[in-house]
Amino acid sequence: MWHQIYYCSKNTPKLLDLLAEKKIKATFFVLGENAVRQPEIIKRIAADGHEIANHTWTHLNFAKSSDEKIRGEMQRAEKTLVELTGVKPTLMRQPYGAMSARQRQWMREEFDYKIILWDVDPLDWKEPGVAIVAQRIIDGTRAGSIVLGHDIHGPTIDAMPEVFDTLLAKGFKFVTVSELIAMDKGGARPEPPKPAAPKSEQKPSAAEPAKQPPVAK
């Protein structure tokens, strides 16, 4: 199972076209300020069957912000996403991955969000180039991976055809974060891809599913 996280930007329609072509569903962690600037993109994301989650209003750093500021941004972003899609988000990802145990507790209690992290980061925000972004994702992805990607960077979008084609050819299945969480709770889980055995070897037994990436509680 494999999943990517995106933000919503001027590059998003190109990504949505590619996801539709490959019949892949993704989860978009959206900034509220981007949603109000490009509401038609948010509506298309929802109409295409992708998952939309809360990523604050302005990409707020929780480690440097008061509870009041964090709460206000989360509420404002959620309100906007509900108005545009009719659906309340159930997931959030804190910018920079920064969040204290106390913040996690009240975030769960007040918003009933699952707090999502990732285990594959191509560092695409440094814009190392299309080939490097693609190779980092391909090399790092395992069964159960959550891959971080930013569609505000054009090279990230340009890397996706190779990423999708290569991982699909290896037998990976693309799912949303919520689908991945459901699998971790005993739902239907596709077999992880297995490497081809040399002809001289006996057929290997079924592989055990890989350990799931962290989903903060």
Counting other chains too, the contacts that 183-190 makes at CB distance below 8 Å and 24 or more residues apart are: 183/1, 184/144, 184/212, 184/215, 189/1, 190/1
Q: Global pTM? A: 0.81
Amino acid at 174: F
Q: At what angle do helices 39-47 and 67-85 cross, to 10 degrees?
A: 70
Q: Walk along the chain (217 residues) and give the pLDDT tens digit of each residue.
A: 445 555 667 789 999 999 999 999 999 999 999 999 999 999 999 999 999 999 999 999 999 999 999 999 999 999 999 999 999 999 999 999 889 999 999 999 999 999 999 999 999 988 889 999 999 999 999 999 999 999 888 889 999 999 999 999 999 999 999 999 998 765 554 454 454 444 444 433 333 333 444 444 3
The encoded tokens of residue 161 equal 């055809």
Give the pLDDT score at 171.
Answer: 94
pLDDT at 209: 36
At which residue do the structure tokens 């050819």 appear? 169
Q: What is the pLDDT of residue 141?
A: 94
Task: Give the model confidence (pLDDT) of 107-146 as tens digits.
Answer: 999 999 999 999 999 999 888 899 999 999 999 999 999 9
Q: In what side-by-side order are the strands of the sheet with 51-54? A: 145-148, 2-6, 27-30, 51-54, 91-92, 114-116, 215-216
Q: Which alpha helices (H) appear in 5-153, and where do they start and end?
A: 12-22, 32-37, 39-47, 67-85, 101-111, 130-140
Indicate the burial class of 134 (C-beta count within 10 angstroms; 0-12, 13-18, 19 or more). buried
Q: What is the pLDDT of residue 127?
A: 85
pLDDT of residue 198: 42
The CATH H-level superfamily of 2-190+212-216 is Glycoside hydrolase/deacetylase (3.20.20.370)
| Structural contact between residues 111 and 207, judged by C-beta atoms closer than 8 angstroms | no
Q: What is the pLDDT of residues 70-92, one digit of tens each?
A: 999 999 999 999 999 999 999 99
